[in-house]
Amino acid sequence: MQPLCVDPARVCEIWPRVAHFIDSAMARGGLTDFAQVDADVRAGRMLLWIAIDERANLKAAAVTELAVIQGRKVGTIVACGGHGLKDFAGFIAELENHFRAEGCVASRILGRKGWARIYPDYRVRSIVMEKAL
């Protein structure tokens, strides 16, 4: 699967067809709010990426964000979801290439612990702890 960055001017054409991939991934991870990501993607503050198979079927989607954090430009994969997890390695590698081209010094993935097993070259830098009250 090769990711394609959706032109922010055309995101409203594609977003309704892939938003469920992002919503589902975010619901499982519980780290960010889908409504905020939805607004940021539609406004062009975050980029939407899609992956299609050889038959032009939409297989996956990802949302990325660039930010300067403590003086370092960082690219973050805010959410990524779809079908064919085994095929995501190339998808993520292309997002990392985009981050490099944008001058980022690091790539981050927001997600569940299971992603750490799939991407061992990413290290756990911090954790989020939560207690129900």
Return the domain boundaries, the chain.
2-118
Indicate the SS3 state at residue 55: coil
Q: Is the pTM of this model over 0.75?
A: yes
Decide: 62 and 14 in contact? Cβ < 8 Å.
Answer: no
pLDDT tier, 95 (very low <50, low <70, confident <90, very high otherwise): very high
Residue 97 has pLDDT above 90, yes or no: yes
- DSSP 8-state code for residue 87: G
Higher local confidence (pLDDT), 87 or 57? 57
Higher local confidence (pLDDT), 86 or 49? 49
Most confident among 3-7, 39-43, 54-58, 118-122 (mean pLDDT):
39-43
Task: Give every strand in the sheet of 106-109, ordered side by side.
Answer: 2-5, 47-52, 58-69, 72-82, 106-109
Which pLDDT score is estimated for 131?
61
Residue 92 has pLDDT above 90, yes or no: no
Most confident among 17-26, 29-38, 107-116 (mean pLDDT):
17-26
The mean of the pLDDT values for the chain is 87
Topology given in CATH for the domain delimited by 2-118: Aminopeptidase (3.40.630)
What mean pLDDT do residues 108-122 have?
79
